[in-house]
Amino acid sequence: MHAFDVLGDPVRRRVLELLADGERSAGELTDAVVREFGITQSAVSQHLRVLRESGFASSRAEGPRRVYSFETEGMRQVDEWMTPFRRYWNPRLLALETEIARGRRANRPTDDQQQTNTKEEQE
């Protein structure tokens, strides 16, 4: 299954959002997804299997539970597909970075202002 087919499903995107914050047990993931999407535990299990098989998640046994983790392999496909399109936004992002840096410099107090603020605080 192509990475965008995997990411095209809102349930799988939500599971990945949860995993982006750290490892989660299958029970935690199931509870959250069932509550938010109203699907069955069996359906959640199928989504978890798709995420594992496509390289977006991995699981391991931890006692009686399964613990899931986010994996970067699936996102590599997305990254590779997006590579030719970066030329459209990279210059804009660099320009934004420059403007942010200029704004920080403009808002930074000068030495005179810092000395004045220090004197006012002492009084």
Q: pLDDT tens digits, residue range 10-32?
A: 999 999 999 999 999 999 999 99
Residue-wise pLDDT tens digits, 92-121: 888 989 999 988 888 877 666 666 665 666
pLDDT at 114: 62
Relative to beta strand 24-25, strand 65-70 is antiparallel
Are 78 and 8 in contact, with CB atoms under 8 Å apart?
no
At the top level of CATH, the class of 1-107 is: mainly alpha
The mean per-residue pLDDT over the stretch 40-62 comes to 96
Rounded to two decimals, what is the model's pTM? Answer: 0.71
81 phi and psi angles, rounded to 5 deg: -65, -35
Give the residue extent of every domain in the chain. Answer: 1-107
Mean pLDDT, rounded, for 56-67: 95
Across-strand partners of 59?
68
- Token code pair at residue 80: 């590779």
Which H/E stretch holds residue 11? helix 10-20
